[in-house]
Amino acid sequence: MNPTACRGAQGFALLGAVQTSLIFTLTAVAVPLPQIGREFGLGRTDLVLLNAAYGLSFAGLLLLGGRLADRSGGRRTLTAGLLLFGAASLTSALAPGYPGLLTARFAQGAGAALVAPAAMAVLRTLFAEPAAHARALATWGGLSVVGATAGNLLSGVISAAGSWRWTFVVPLAVTAAALALGPRLLPADPSRDGGRPGPHRAGPHRAGPPRPGPLAADRPGLDLPGAVLATTGITLAGYGLVLSEARHWTSPTVLGTLVAAAALLGVFLLVERRVRDPLLPPDFLLHRRRALALAAIGLTAAGTSTTFVLLSLHLQQQRGWSPLATSGTFLPYAAALLGAGRATGPLIGRFGPRRVTAAGLALAAAGLLLLAATGFDPGLPYPAGLLPGLVVLPAGAAGSFAGAVVLAAEDVPRGRTGLAGGVLNTAMELGPTLVLAVLLTTGSDSASLALAATALAGTALAVTVPAAMARPGPRGGTGHRSHDRPRTPVGP
């Protein structure tokens, strides 16, 4: 490997570790929640809010984080987010009580909301050539589910071996490494005078001609009204859905919160149609290919996270398994996920992201159906009950995530890379919260997974229709290349 490619691979590894740690932190307290509750004397409502705090601020601030990355530069925003994320992780580990831990979890989410879209913006600069960027995106798409799996596995091991506080050492260590190695491995933001980047700009992008930097006049406005409306609306929506896990949907608190969230998001959409530099340009989500890809990302994230939640509760509460044994149940899941993740890149290169996304969704739906049929039957041995679904589901999820991320991020202008990262991660965060709240109303774990499988299968069918993936273009053509066409092999 030549030095330029080596630097690119090292930079990608660093960014990938950061992205994985963000999702690891999202799921890291799920398994040790009972231990935290005993230490601080918490009830169910407090535990539900503590588990959701990180995701609420993460999802609520992602659009603003994406705008800041596009406006101020990816690496600048990445550094600021890492500093906040790392400080909040340390505070979480040392929290003396529930209020301090809850506040630190909200702060962690705020830092993550800056880091996630900024990392995608830096990735675009690191791999400037379209073919190289597509290869990176294919691998990037599977990192979130890897992080979620690692969080569920390691948190059980750590809490069984010692204190839940040690789970925060993982994001803290990754943050320290990223801050120390970032200036050497990651490209500097393009200069604002249109000249060459600074001396730290090392990687595959050096082979191309200098690109104009983001001149102050060309940078998008901040859109503060849109930022306030979007952040408040998304956060309230997530909070209302979290409350529905402990209270009835028709309770005044839940219903009032969700109605207020819907009103704020409705006003947000109206504001975005009128401002000069909208935080979320309306045309960004109206692109049918991108909308279907975002649906695939959200539903796949929902299917995998619902499986973790329902199986973890079932195994510990119904079968009496320990947290360590519960985590061990998902080892085949992790192995299948890693193996499928290695294969998705070459498959996307050969068959195109649309076909891989559709096949991944269908396979993930089959895995959920297997778990719904046999996973909750205590009379079946592990190899016949849980194992088949825990192998098929991650294999499909890896393909769905990888293909959908490529579909959603392709053809995004450089000035909207942060926006794309914010929207992708918002779908990944809100999808599980929304779908889990709906699925819990079924009253049956098996029915919940079967319903999730139906949603994935329906999305797979929609993605399969070629017309749904094409944009209308000038007469005589589609306006852009086909997403069915095989392309340069994609892989890590």
To which residue do tokens 């219903």 refer?
255
* Spatial contact of 3 and 202, defined as CB atoms under 8 Å apart: no
Give the model's pLDDT for residue 469: 45
For residues 344-359, average pLDDT: 92
* Spatial contact of 449 and 304, defined as CB atoms under 8 Å apart: no
To which residue do tokens 């530069």 refer?
73
For residues 379-384, average pLDDT: 92
Structure confidence at residue 180 as a pLDDT band (50, 70, 90): very high
Tell which residue, 248, 492, 177, has the closest CA to residue 346: 492
Those residues whose C-beta lies under 8 Å from the C-beta of residue 309, and which sit 6 or more positions away, are 30, 436
The pLDDT > 70 percentage for the chain reads: 87
Structure confidence at residue 328 as a pLDDT band (50, 70, 90): confident
Cα distances (angstroms) measured from residue 237 to each of 30, 55, 62, 216, 231: 21, 12, 14, 35, 10
* Spatial contact of 406 and 214, defined as CB atoms under 8 Å apart: no
* Mean pLDDT of the chain, nearest integer: 84
For residues 472-490, average pLDDT: 41
Give the model's pLDDT for residue 422: 92
320: region left, alpha or beta (phi > 0 left; psi from -120 to 50 alpha): left
Is pLDDT of 489 > 80? no
Is pLDDT of 371 > 90? yes
Is pLDDT of 250 > 80? yes
Give the model's pLDDT for residue 218: 57
pLDDT digits (tens, 9 = 90+) for 167-179: 999 999 999 999 9
Higher pLDDT: 443 or 425? It is 425
Is pLDDT of 206 > 80? no
Cα distances (angstroms) measured from residue 369 to each of 235, 365, 376, 385, 456: 32, 6, 12, 12, 11
Is pLDDT of 110 > 90? yes
Is pLDDT of 274 > 60? yes
- Cα(228)–Cα(211) distance, rounded to whole angstroms? 33
Q: What is the DSSP string of 293-310?
A: HHHHHHHHHHHHHHHHHH
Give the model's pLDDT for residue 470: 45
pLDDT digits (tens, 9 = 90+) for 451-477: 999 999 999 999 887 544 444 444 333
Please count the other Cβ atoms lying within 10 Å of the Cβ belonging to residue 72: 18
Give the model's pLDDT for residue 3: 64
